[in-house]
Amino acid sequence: MSSSVYIAGVGVISAIGNNVAEHLRAFENERAGMGDITMLNTIHKGELPVAEVKLNNNDLAKLTDMPPQTSRTALLSLAAANEAIADAGIPGFDTLRTGFISANTVGGMDKSEDFFVDFLADNNKGKLRNIFDHECGSKTEIVADQLGITDYLTTISTACSSSANAIFYAARLIKNDLLDVAIAGGTDALTKFTLNGFNTLMILDKEFCKPFDEHREGLNLGEGAGYLVLVSEKIAETLNKEPYCKLSGYNNSNDAYHQTASSPDGTGSYLAMKGALKKSGLKPSDIDYINLHGTGTPNNDSAEGTAVKRIFDPEYPPMSSTKSYTGHTLGASGGIEAVFSVLSIRHGIIYPNLRFETRMSELPFEPETEFLKGQNINHVMSNSFGFGGNCTSLIFSRI
């Protein structure tokens, strides 16, 4: 029950790379993934920047050996999950109790949008194959079937904290001895639905986003997928290489303030960070790097910053928002940023917060702006907050 859960493998795809190695290069070269919309058929083309994965659906289908008409959400998921499993290289993988715990926010919406145009004109029209897998759970199922995972699969959807919740739910399944191995994280593809949704809320920056900057004007949407392979203590001992680190702390708290806005004092974020620290038995001063939620919206960064201040003042660890590279990948962000957190420990690196210029007036700290190498990083906190007040913090620790 109290055994540790180890990270044995990682996989990621986003606008800055199609695998872990490409991500590390992009970080070091400070190369962000935002640009003009090229794939979505939307009136916002040329007006709103997004962070697209640079492979189209045909490329992704080839990469994952899937039919090209598969939902992009599932293609991204499979690409990252494949990398994570190959990276872990778990001996006797097929014989273990394995789960796939994935997250996303809008399921097969990329296909449903096409269906809906024809359906609205005539309710007997619209290709059913474009709507058949609309559900969030279908994305998980399609990928699990490709991965050959049958012991346990489920899907979590708590908006932008979805995949952070998937990761720690997976860890608990292992701790409760229901699974030996779990691939956990999340995926989301860019859709007109989410692009227009966030646009109606007037929180999309027309320029590249500037998280934690006094003059930040909103977020850029991104897409991608990120997964961790979590294993029990027993399986960790059988690995051919050292696990990356362990998941030492986690907490899910609710802001209970507003359906979309964060409370001014960041109650939910504060409780999540505080709870994760308590779970890990660590003090704030033990944290060597915070991967912030840092969307770049005035509201999030102010609430999150206030909560960080309440916990860490006066000694602040280096922190940054990698959304300045990947954009906000919604249901995938917790998984993608968990991968970055794990890599931070493994490689002793801290990611810069791109385009930061001016410290926020209400905060006594500012994010890291340089790519730092050769750091001794033992504990990393990763924040993921979402609509519905859903706030989750994870802590990864060196073994």
Q: Which residues bind other proteins (CB under 8 A)?
A: 1, 42-44, 105, 107, 112-113, 116-117, 119-120, 123-124, 128, 131-132, 135-138, 140-141, 144, 150-159, 165, 169, 172-173, 175-176, 192-193, 196-197, 199-201, 252-260, 267-268, 271, 386-390
Give all strands (DSSP E) within the chain, no chain letters. 5-14, 50-51, 98-103, 152-156, 181-188, 221-222, 224-232, 245-254, 289-291, 319-320, 379-385, 390-397
The pair of structure tokens assigned to 275 is 């709870």
Please state, in angstroms and rounded to a whole number, the distance separating the CA atoms of residues 249 and 279: 5
Catalytic residue selected from 23, 134, 293, 379: 293
Rg value, the chain, Cα: 20
Query: Which residue type occupies 176?
Result: N
Toward other proteins, which CB reaches closer, 7 or 136? 136
Toward other proteins, which CB reaches closer, 109 or 308? 109
Catalytic residue selected from 23, 136, 209, 328: 328
Query: Which residue type occupies 63?
Result: L
Q: In the complex, what is the shortest distance from the CB of residue 186 to other proteins, in angstroms, rounded to a whole number? A: 12
Burial 283-296 (b: 16+ CB within 10 A, else e): ebebbbbbbbbbbb
**Nearest CA-CA partner of 84 in 174, 180, 176, 19:** 19
Residue with tokens 């190369």: 31
Catalytic residue selected from 23, 134, 136, 160: 160
Q: In the complex, what is the shortest distance from the CB of residue 67 to other proteins, in angstroms, rounded to a whole number? A: 19
Neighbours of 151 (CB within 10 A): 16
Taken as a whole, the chain contains a residue count of 399
Please state, in angstroms and rounded to a whole number, the distance separating the CA atoms of residues 224 and 333: 8
Toward other proteins, which CB reaches closer, 25 or 125? 125
Q: In the complex, what is the shortest distance from the CB of residue 274 to other proteins, in angstroms, rounded to a whole number? A: 11
Whether 160 is catalytic: yes
339 forms beta bridges with: none
Q: In the complex, what is the shortest distance from the CB of residue 169 to other proteins, in angstroms, rounded to a whole number? A: 7
The β-bridge relationship of strands 319-320 and 245-254 is: unpaired
Toward other proteins, which CB reaches closer, 83 or 133? 133
Toward other proteins, which CB reaches closer, 123 or 376? 123
Neighbours of 29 (CB within 10 A): 10
Toward other proteins, which CB reaches closer, 134 or 216? 134
Whether 347 is catalytic: no
Q: In the complex, what is the shortest distance from the CB of residue 346 to other proteins, in angstroms, rounded to a whole number? A: 29
Q: In the complex, what is the shortest distance from the CB of residue 172 to other proteins, in angstroms, rounded to a whole number? A: 5
Whether 328 is catalytic: yes
Positions annotated as catalytic residues are 160, 293, 328
